[in-house]
Amino acid sequence: MPPFRRVALIGLGLIGSSIARAVRARMPGVALAGHDRDADVCETVRRLGLVDEVAETAAAAARGADLVVLAVPLGAMRAVGEAVREALAPGAVLTDVGSSKQAVIDALGDLVPAGVHFVPGHPVAGTERSGPEAGFASLFEGRWCILTPPDGTDPEVLGRLEAFWTGLGARVERMDARHHDLVLAITSHLPHLIAYSIVGTASDLEEVTKAEVIKYSAGGFRDFTRIAASDPTMWRDVFLMNRDAVLEMLARFSEDLAALQRAIRWGDGETLYRRFEASRAIRRAIVDAGQDTPAPDFGRSH
Amino acid sequence: MPPFRRVALIGLGLIGSSIARAVRARMPGVALAGHDRDADVCETVRRLGLVDEVAETAAAAARGADLVVLAVPLGAMRAVGEAVREALAPGAVLTDVGSSKQAVIDALGDLVPAGVHFVPGHPVAGTERSGPEAGFASLFEGRWCILTPPDGTDPEVLGRLEAFWTGLGARVERMDARHHDLVLAITSHLPHLIAYSIVGTASDLEEVTKAEVIKYSAGGFRDFTRIAASDPTMWRDVFLMNRDAVLEMLARFSEDLAALQRAIRWGDGETLYRRFEASRAIRRAIVDAGQDTPAPDFGRSH
């Protein structure tokens, strides 16, 4: 028995459309409704046949669903919450996939009708692509999905939401919302900010042309351009909504970078070597944990 | 006819051993000699049969070669140059693969015997792996090799060295040494420095454990750990030897990052969006130029 009978996906981009595909592939019999505020996205989802019903409004999609998943940028959460609240039946579960959890609790907490179970979530998965055509059914396989249930969440509800994510191939972890936001600030938000920043730096040089940057990017730069190609709206909202944790991690990063800068300026090779040597162990641990491919160069074809 | 009859490889790590493999695969009939100061590396190369002769000294490998390639960390260039100079025959070509070209010219320029042609080079290729077992024959295919010939270099010699690299599958570009160092500072050296730095930052946190950083690294962080797993000796030397260009690029990066930091602090979503939006075009151009895979997520298997 699947943990839910009717799932509503509000937002049908990379994540929403991947959930749709994964449900289709792995939970036959579950009814899928969807809505996106972008009519072109709705049309694409209809054409691809990703859900049973593409509804005209978020409320229409949510009506009758026992799981409603908000898969929209963080800045749109409150508006979408206001749009669906009247359609949420008692006993329904409301969740989301946003990358900052306290922000979602702040945006939605006071909107949730009595009798509706609100359990924020975050599947740590994605690619640099956006939109419904970029999604795929195996996106969540072997990835972690973090749930940040408020105190007093019904264990039965939590169990069903966990079963939903494990059913899509993910592994589930529970966490306090504020701790989630700190963990993601260092593992995801700061890396994206740095990637966006260095791509900007490289684009604005006078002595080195953009054509040269592109041509010789295999020296390392190209790695950064991948995550810097991610959806700008989503990431703008992440930085605005997880501001304090991002600024905290950024301050630490800047300190550490300044220490390396000083070592370079003063020719302190020992400090550089010691810092660089330590990084290999982290890479190894990530590969051992199944969180990245063991193939050199990410397995890029040569 | 291959452009050289006998090639000597001094240094048999990732790059040296990949040259050996590529010569074997693509230039049959060329004699290969090699030497590495690490006896274990010599033993591995002997066992793998990558060259015709693993010599006991750098000079013994270089003797009789019409092309001598120095594939050692930048900090070892001068010592290796001193070791091979007596073995270099008039007419022989001496080149290298170092990632900073002015430093190599400074290290070797006054050592090169009269009649020997010294043409510094840099294949912009590699992986995060090190050592002779990490090399492979196709490493240079479709990658750029930058030559920085001094004024007055014999065009016939330059043509032969170009033919050597194109024979290994690379595309060749000529450049002024100082300009090379600026281009690589932004396309390669700064990305590596930033990657090493953020991996260090993530390892040293109190609120977030190392286990959590590893577990949730798929959010973006894992991309940085790849290049931060590169050879620490090689990279220490790059930063010490291309100091001025790296510090210049680092200063610009820090300015740009501070601007994003300010935008986050003051909630300036428009600035963030504008900067992030621009990055997609660079990624597209890199993929279009054949410098990265078009597959999402670097083509990692899902």
Give per-residue pLDDT as tens, B14-40.
Answer: 999 999 999 999 999 999 999 999 999
Closest CA–CA distance from residue B71 to any residue of chain A (Å): 16
Residue B302 pLDDT more than 90?
no
Residue B170 pLDDT:
98
Distance CA B68, CA B7 (A): 6
Residue A142 pLDDT:
94
pLDDT, chain A, mean:
97
Number of Cβ pairs < 8 A linking chain A and chain B: 369
**Residue A254: closest CA among chain B residues belongs to which residue?**
B254
What is the 8-class DSSP label of residue B297? G
Q: What's CA B251's distance to the chain center, in Å? A: 23
Chain B residues near residue A216 by CB distance under 8 angstroms: 124, 144, 146, 183-184, 187-188
Distance CA A164, CA B73 (A): 52
Cβ contact (<8 Å) for B254 and A254? Answer: yes
Distance CA B93, CA B118 (A): 6
Cβ contact (<8 Å) for B243 and A223? Answer: no
Distance CA A202, CA B302 (A): 31
Residue A301 pLDDT:
74
**Residue A178: closest CA among chain B residues belongs to which residue?**
B207
Q: How far are the Cα atoms of A198, B75, B255 from residue B193, in angstroms, in the given order?
A: 12, 18, 16
Residues A216-221: what's their mean pLDDT?
Answer: 96
Residues A111-118: what's their mean pLDDT?
Answer: 97
pLDDT tens track for A131-184: 999 999 999 999 999 999 999 999 999 999 999 999 999 999 999 999 999 999
Closest CA–CA distance from residue A92 to any residue of chain B (Å): 29
A65, A32, A67: which is closest to A46 by C-alpha? Answer: A32
Distance CA A149, CA A177 (A): 8
Helix (H) or strand (E) holding B77: helix B77-84
Phi, psi of A25 (to 5 degrees): -75, -30
Residues A193-214: what's their mean pLDDT?
Answer: 96
pLDDT tens track for B145-183: 999 999 999 999 999 999 999 999 999 999 999 999 999
pLDDT tens track for B137-146: 999 999 999 9
Cβ contact (<8 Å) for B278 and A203? Answer: yes
Residue A206: Cβ-neighbour burial (10 angstroms; 0-12, 13-18, 19+) = exposed
Cβ contact (<8 Å) for A188 and B219? Answer: yes
In the CATH scheme, what architecture does the domain A179-293 have? Orthogonal Bundle (1.10)
Chain B residues near residue A260 by CB distance under 8 angstroms: 193, 196-197, 239
Residue A283 pLDDT more than 90?
yes
Residues A207-227: what's their mean pLDDT?
Answer: 96
Residues B224-250: what's their mean pLDDT?
Answer: 97
Tell me which of A122, A139, A212, A279 to substitute to probe the interface with B (most B C-beta atoms closer than 10 Å).
A279
Cβ contact (<8 Å) for A243 and B267? Answer: yes
Distance CA A138, CA B53 (A): 49
Tell me which of B254, B282, B288, B300 to substitute to probe the interface with A (most A C-beta atoms closer than 10 Å).
B282
pLDDT tens track for B180-198: 999 999 999 999 999 999 9
Q: Which CATH number fits domain A6-175: 3.90.1150.10, 3.40.50.300, 3.40.50.720, 1.10.3720.10?
A: 3.40.50.720
Q: Can you identify the CATH homologous superfamily of domain B179-292?
A: 6-phosphogluconate dehydrogenase C-terminal like domain (1.10.3660.10)
Cβ contact (<8 Å) for B220 and A192? Answer: yes
pLDDT tens track for A14-73: 999 999 999 999 999 999 999 999 999 999 999 999 999 999 999 999 999 999 999 999
Chain B residues near residue A277 by CB distance under 8 angstroms: 232
Residue A245 pLDDT more than 90?
yes
Upper half-sphere CA count for residue B6 (Cβ side, 13 Å): 15
pLDDT tens track for A19-33: 999 999 999 999 999
Cβ contact (<8 Å) for B200 and A279? Answer: yes
pLDDT tens track for B83-93: 999 999 999 99
Cβ contact (<8 Å) for A296 and B128? Answer: yes
Domain-by-domain residue ranges, chain B? 6-175, 179-292
Residue A14 pLDDT:
98
| Model confidence pTM above 0.90 | yes
Residue B301 pLDDT more than 80?
no
Of B203, B236, B253, the CB nearest to A197: B253
Cβ contact (<8 Å) for B197 and A240? Answer: no
Chain A residues near residue B203 by CB distance under 8 angstroms: 278, 282
Supply B32's token pair.
């290969």
**Residue B283: closest CA among chain A residues belongs to which residue?**
A225
In B97-135, which positions are buried (b, 16+ CB within 10 angstroms) versus exposed (e)?
A: bbbbbbbbbebbeebbeeebbbbbbbbbbbbbbbbbbbb
Cβ contact (<8 Å) for A191 and B298? Answer: no
